[in-house]
Structure 1
C-alpha cells in the first residue's frame, strides 16, 4: 500500500502543478476579461468561475505540453510566466470592450448627451456608452463566450508557451498596436455621430449668421438631443455586429492586431 502511494505521489504532484499553472493563467485573465471580470461581479463568483474553467482546461493538457517534469516542482518563475500570459489575454479582450465604451463616449459628446445619467452610474460613463457596452457584452455572452474562452486558453499555449516570458519589446509593440486598434475601432463605430454633429453645427452656424436675432441655442439643443437618440436607435443594429466581428477576431487570436 505504501509503495503504491509512493509511486502515485509524483503523478499527483505533477497534476497539482499543472492545475496550479492553468489556474494562474485563467485567474490572471479573469482580472480583465469582459463579462466574467466586470467590477460589479462579486469576487467569489469570479473565483468560482476561474476554478470551473481550470477544471475544464486542465484535463485537456498534459505535463509534456507545459514542460513539467514528473516528480519535480517547477520554479517560481514558471508560475509568474503563467500569470503574465493570462493577464495579456484578458487585456487584449478588455481593450476591444473599451473600444465600444470609447465609441459611446465620443457619440455622447458629439450629440450633447454626455451628462444624461452620467454621474448616477458606478463608472461615471455616459448613458449611451454604458448602453452600448452592456449590449455588446450581452451579445458576446449569448454567442457562447465561455466556450470560445476555453478554446482561446487552449490555443494560447502554442503562442505563449508555459514557462517562457513574453519578450519585452514584442509585448510593448503589441500593446501599442492594440491600443491604437482600439481607438481606431472606436472612431469607426462613432463616425455617424461625428458626421451628424458636424452637419448640425455647420447648419446652426449658417442659421445664426442669417438670423442673428434668433436664439439658436434654444432651438438647437432639443434638436441635437432628439437627433442623437434617434441616430442611436437606427445605428445600434449596425454598430453592435461590427463590434462583435472585431471581438470575435480578437477572441480567436488575441495576439494578432487587425
Structure 2
C-alpha cells in the first residue's frame, strides 16, 4: 500500500515539477531551486488525491516511458502558461520602442529588458498571484489528465498544431496590449511630419522627444490597469480550457 502511494505521488510529481519550473511567479529564474522544489512538493500533495493511480510498471522500459511522458506533459503545460509572460514582455518592448523608451532598462530583472516591460511583468505576476494563480494551476494539472493521460504519448502533430496556435495567440495578445502605444507613436510621427513640413527651420526632433517620452509615461500610467486586467483574463481563459484546440 505504501509503495503504491509513493509511486503514485512520484508520477504526479514528475508532471507537476516540470510545470512548476515554467510557472509564472513560482518558476522565475530569481526563485531559488529549493523554493521551487518545495512548491513542486506542495502541488503534488494537492493534486495527487484527485488523480487516478496506475499500476507500478514491471519493466525498465515501461518505467522510462512513464517518466518521459509525464515530464513532457508537464513541460507542455508550463510552456503554454509561460507564453503569456513572454506576451506581456513583448508588449512592453513594443510599447517602449514606440515611445522612445527602449534605452531605459530595468535593472532588477534577470534578463535585460526595457523598464516599461519590467513594470508590466512585475505588475502582471503580482496580479496573477493575487487572483489565485496557484489554485488555477492545480486545477489545470488535474484537468490535464483527461487530455494528456498518464503514460501515453499524444500525437506529435496534435501537440505541434496546438503549440503553433498558442504562439500565434501570444503574439496577437502582445500586439493587442501594446496597441495604445502604437497608436500614440503613429499620431506623434504624423504630427511631427506636419510640423516639420510647415516649419522646416524648426528642430522638431528636439521638441518632439520630450513630448513622446512624457506621453508614453502618462499613457502607461493610464493604461496599465486595463492592460494587466486583459492579460490576466486571457491567461485565466487558457487555464480554464487549455486544450480547446485539441480534438
TM beyond 0.5 = yes
Partner of 2:199: 211
Q: Residue 30 of structure 2: SS of its match in structure 1? A: coil
Q: Identify unmatched segments of 5+ residues in structure 2.
A: none
8 A contact 2:13–2:44 mirrored in 1: yes
Residue from 212, 215, 223 that aligns with 2:211: 223
Taking the TM superposition and a 5 Å limit, the aligned residue runs for 1:1-258 are: 11-63=1-53, 68-69=54-55, 72=58, 75-118=63-106, 121-256=109-244
Deviation digits for residues 48-87 of structure 1 (CA, Å, limit 9, x no counterpart): 1101111121122232xxxx22685752101110000000
Q: CA RMSD in A?
A: 1.5
8 A contact 1:13–1:71 mirrored in 2: no
Could you tell me how far apart the structure 2 residues matched to 1:111 and 1:156 are?
Answer: 41
Deviation of the 1:121 alpha carbon: 4.0
Partner of 1:7: none
Deviation digits for residues 196-226 of structure 1 (CA, Å, limit 9, x no counterpart): 1001001101111111111111101100000
Could you tell me how far apart the structure 1 residues matched to 2:221 and 2:163 are?
Answer: 33
8 A contact 2:57–2:63 mirrored in 1: no
Could you tell me how far apart the structure 1 residues matched to 2:112 and 2:159 are?
Answer: 31
8 A contact 1:93–1:254 mirrored in 2: no
Q: Which runs of 4+ in 1 moved over 3 A?
A: 70-74, 118-121
Deviation of the 1:180 alpha carbon: 0.5
Could you tell me how far apart the structure 2 residues matched to 1:230 and 1:240 are?
Answer: 16
Q: Identify unmatched segments of 5+ residues in structure 1.
A: 1-10
